[in-house]
Chains A and B, each alone.
Chain A
Amino acid sequence: MAEILIEGVSKVFADGTEAVHEVDLQIPDGKLMVLVGPSGCGKTTVLRMVAGLEDLTGGRIVIDGRVVNEVPPGERDVAMVFQNYALYPHMTVYQNMALSLKIRKLKKEEMNRRVEEAARVLHLEDLLGKRPRELSGGQRQRVAMGRAIVREPQAFLMDEPLSNLDAKLRVQMRAEILRIQQDLGVTTIYVTHDQTEAMTLGDLVAVMKKGFLQQVADPQELFAHPVNLFVAGFIGSPAMNVVEATLSGTDDGMFAEFGGHRLAVPDEVVAERPALASYRGGTVILGIRPEAMEDAALVSAPGPDSRFPVTVDLREDMGSDVYLHFTVEAPPVYTEDTKELAADVDEKALEELHAQATERRSAFTARTSPETRARVGGAMEIWVDTRKLYFFDPESGESIYGEREPASSGAAASVTSA
């Protein structure tokens, strides 16, 4: 067990692409840190550098107080679980799990003990004599985990270990991984592009974008106080609704206006964000989480300026709640961040965002109670919990909290938010 320090680590590949830019991370002993971000954000490269499979261009990696930059992978005392499991096809499950111990010349009895122990934990006892191709996806995944566990390493490194499983199995294995990690208390770095996985697994979550670290925080903090538009849009499902809005008002009240609608910004929100005052009379990016909205008909005492009328485009019944999709006649936020987020969903989402930008309309999603009577094509009023509004600088995409920052800070921020 060990603390892992990643200090100013950079990676430039031979072809000149910079995959990772001066990333600093500290993974406390026994904690699970999730690296999350869209594909190509450099998260896997960071993991491979910790494993020793990739050389560092700059910075250093410290495991348990030892700088491991020049230490070969096998001597770093870390175990890795690969996305496609990377089980040795010509070896049995037992041999797969025992190989690393054999290389370390462990005594036969100790080797057997460890493999059997791992097999017991992972319910693999009956499969020890089988070869990987005879196993199902879930079983292979377990063997890959087993191969890591028998090492009793200082750290687990997991590279999207669940992405090849079907949805149901993924949820099951996710819980399994969490249980094993907590039982063993091994420091773990877990890479995924799935924000749900990141939120449910991580003691700490590090969000990356294009090689830059955006924010490191525990899941709740990340959700409540994202440092910028990118993190806000990436964390949470359905994603946060964002729209360009004008801040107006006098000293006794502040309002956010967009698409002919007006929302009052409560004093407590203004107080929490001193920098917001300097945006008065100008534009900001307003963020509203789907969870912060409700069918106004179901809210007993909606305050003034907390509602706006909409026409429902689509209704999705999820059982526990209902997703209502509607359009707001205000230009969407069309920046590098939102484009990156849309592109991460798929090509279509990016085209859709582009179409919205040209037509100056924004698609919104609200997550309402299942009791809503809203129907497609029908008019209704949406209530917004205005205490849960988010504001971002339209230039930099940074969250507006404290003092107004110079607009140039861009994506390089790696601040744990206040």
Chain B
Amino acid sequence: MRTVEAPERIEAPPEIEPQPKVTRYRARRISYKVLMYILLLGLCGFILLPVGWMFTAALKPDLEPVFTPTPEWFPTTFWEWGNFHRVLTESMPFLRYMINSTIIVVACIIGELIACSLVGFAFARLRFRGSKVLFYILIVTMLIPWQALMIPQFLLFVKLGWYGTYLPIIVPSFTGTAFFIFLMRQYMRTIPKDLDDAARVDGLNTWQIFWRIILPLSTPVLTVCAVFTFLWNWNDLLRPLIYLDSDEKFTVAMGLANLVTRADTPWNLTMAANLVSILPCVIVYFFVQKKLIGGIASVGLKG
């Protein structure tokens, strides 16, 4: 049965007003937009202020003071582009450091993605004895600060003869990170089980379901894990500091730290090195930002 509701009140037909109203409305919308743009541009400038200062400082010659009473910004009077060249190859081997960091980061990302997606899939989809208990244990391990494991891990890796190599930094990635496993599991649980059933009837085995169905559908969460792994390892100072002992194995973060902790810190070169080291982060973010934001939203991460 259908009930027909009486119309609330028939509104009087709108008075036909000539152009002015429309243009006024449009003008208001445009001025609102302009205001927003000005505001946002102002904010951008504010955020870019330190970066601009870094850039100015990086272009100064060696003896020019960097910390001037009024901070110098654009336009600068100095254009020592050679500083970048010096930082990357001559006085400091930052190119070497960047290659080292890249090796570590790429290896860690591969390790994390393989390990976490497999374990996450197991927790999300496979029924096995003790899976719940194991998952709770996994959650509990997230509460243990890394610093508490630092010394035992160090002793272990020294015993294994891995001191001075990248192995103590890379290998733990292949055992997964509790937080990422948790994220993967949560995300994979949102993928409808009917897809697994359909795939099973289609003749796929568990591995094929993982590889052909679940993994391709998990790209948002895989992206999130990859980007976080990249950021953490690119910026990580402590672990490389503990395990690496020779200059040619140092990472970017170590190179920067070494520059700053010197008695006669060459600020112009430090700033050039800084700029170079944040470049990969910016590039990565530029390319994956859409996926990343989507991914963060989809796994319920914030902040």
* Contacts from A to B (Cβ < 8 Å): 48, 51-53, 72-75, 78-80, 82-84, 86-90, 99-100, 103-104, 147, 151, 157
Contacts and interface: CB of A to CB of B under 8 A. Distances in A.
Contacts, number: 60
Contact of B200 (A72, A83, A90, A104): A72
B194 A74 contact: no
A82 B208 contact: no
A82 B202 contact: no
Interface stretch (B60-68, B212-220, B285-293): B212-220
Contact of B197 (A75, A82, A151): A82
Interface residues of B, number: 17
A244 to B, nearest CB: 29
Nearest to B216: A90
A157 B202 CA distance: 12
Nearest to A95: B212
B204 A103 contact: yes
B18 interface: no
Name the 9 nearest CB pairs between A and B, nearest first.
Answer: A74-B203, A100-B202, A86-B194, A86-B198, A73-B200, A103-B203, A80-B201, A90-B216, A73-B201
B195 A88 contact: yes
B192 A84 contact: yes
A75 B200 CA distance: 9
B76 interface: no
Interface string B187-212: 00000101101111111110010001
A103 B200 CA distance: 11
B200 A53 contact: yes
Given A74-B205, A99-B212, A104-B203, 7 more contacts: A48-B197, A72-B200, A72-B205, A73-B197, A86-B198, A88-B213, A100-B202
24 contacts: A48-B197, A52-B201, A53-B200, A53-B201, A73-B197, A73-B201, A74-B201, A74-B202, A74-B203, A80-B198, A82-B197, A86-B192, A86-B197, A86-B198, A88-B195, A88-B198, A90-B216, A99-B199, A99-B204, A100-B203, A103-B202, A103-B208, A147-B202, A157-B201
Given A88-B213, A103-B208, A80 B203 contact: no
B213 A75 contact: no
Nearest to A14: B127
B203 A86 contact: no
Interface string B70-91: 0000000000000000000000
A79 B199 CA distance: 10
Nearest to B197: A53
A48 B197 CA distance: 9
A209 to B, nearest CB: 25
A89 B195 CA distance: 9
